[in-house]
Structure 1
Amino acid sequence: MSYWLFKSEPGCFSFDDLKNRPDSTEHWDGVRNYQARNFLRDQVKPGDLVLFYHSNIPEPAVVGLAEVVREGYPDFTAFDPHSEHFDPKSSVAAPIWYMVDVRYVEPMKKPVTLERIKTNPLLSEMPLVKRSRLSIQPVTPEQWQMILAMAGMET
Structure 2
Amino acid sequence: MPIQDIPKNILTDKLFISYTYYKEGLVDGDNFMVEARVRNSKEDHGIPCYDVFSSDTGLHGFSINQNCYSYIKFISEEKIITGDKYDFRKYNFDTSDWHIMRIQVVDRETTFYFDDEPILNTVYENSLGRANEITLRFKGCGAVDYVKLYDSKNQLIYENNFEKNLNKK
TM range (shorter): under 0.3
* Structure with a larger share of its residues in strand: 2
More helix by share: 1
Higher relative contact order (CA 8 A, sep 6+): 2
